[in-house]
Amino acid sequence: MIRIVLDIDDTLYLERDYAFSGFRAVGDWLQSKYGETGFFETAWNYFLKGRRGDIFNQVLRDINYGDNGLIAKMVEVYRTHDPDIHLLPDALSFLQKYASTELAVISDGYSASQWAKVHALDLEKLVETIIMTDDWGREYWKPHPQAFESARKGCLPGCCVYIADNPLKDFIAPIRLGWMPSIRVRRIGSMHYNVPTPDDCIEVASLNDACAFLSEALT
C-alpha cells in the first residue's frame, strides 16, 4: 500500500488566495468597527509588490492610524476568518484518483487558520488523515519528523511520498526517514516559486504531473 502525504498551502490551492481573503476580512472588520476604508486595496497592493511580514503595520502608517493594540486584533481577524479558497482543479482531480485511506495531509501554520482552510477546501471528505503540526506545538512544525511518522501509519518508508511546495523545510524529514523521493509542486504564483528544487526531489508544475510520476513509479 502506498501512502501519499500532501501539504496544503501552494500545493492544493494558491496561498495568495488565502492572503486575498484574509486582507478582505480585515478590511471589512476595520470598516465595520472603526469606519476605516481602503485597507484591503492598500494591503493587497503591498502583497503583490512582494512585501511580507509587516503589511498591517505599513498600511496603518500609510493611513496615519495609530496601533494601540490594533495590530494584534487585525492578526486575530486574519487568522480566524473563514477563508474564501477552493481546491485547484488539478488538486481536486488528484485527490479523487486515490482512496481517502491512501491520502494524508501534513501542514504547518497556526492551527485555527489551517483547520479553517481544511474546512473551506472540504478536505475531510477526501483525505483520511489530516495532521496540523501546530496542534502539538510550534516545536513540531516541519522539519520535525513526528508528523511524518504519524502519517505513515505502518507503511514502509519506501512506500510513502510527500508532495509539497517549500524546499526550505518540507522535504528534510521525509528524506531523512527514507521515504520515496519527494515531489515538489512548483506552481506559478506560489510563495516559494523562486526557491530552487533540491536535487533529490522531483519537480512538477502541477499535481497532474505528480500523478503521472506516481503511476510510473508504482508499476
Residue ranges of the domains in the chain? 3-14+85-217, 16-80
Kindly state the average pLDDT of the residues 183-189: 95
* Phi–psi pair at 70, nearest 5 degrees: -70, -35
- For the structural domain made of 3-14+85-217, what CATH number should be given? 3.40.50.1000
Band of pLDDT at residue 216, cut at 50, 70 and 90: confident
**What are the residues whose beta carbons fall under 8 Å from the beta carbon of 98, sequence distance 6 or more?**
4
Examine the pLDDT at 219 and tell me if it is beyond 70.
no
Residue 5 pLDDT greater than 70, yes or no: yes
pTM, entire model: 0.93
Confidence band, pLDDT 50/70/90 cuts, at residue 36: confident
Query: At CB < 8 A and 24+ separation, what contacts does 88-91 make?
Result: 88/12, 88/13, 88/14, 88/206, 88/207, 90/206, 90/207, 90/208, 91/11, 91/12, 91/13, 91/207
Average pLDDT rounded to a whole number, residues 131-160: 95
Identify the pLDDT of residue 213.
84
pLDDT at site 133: 98
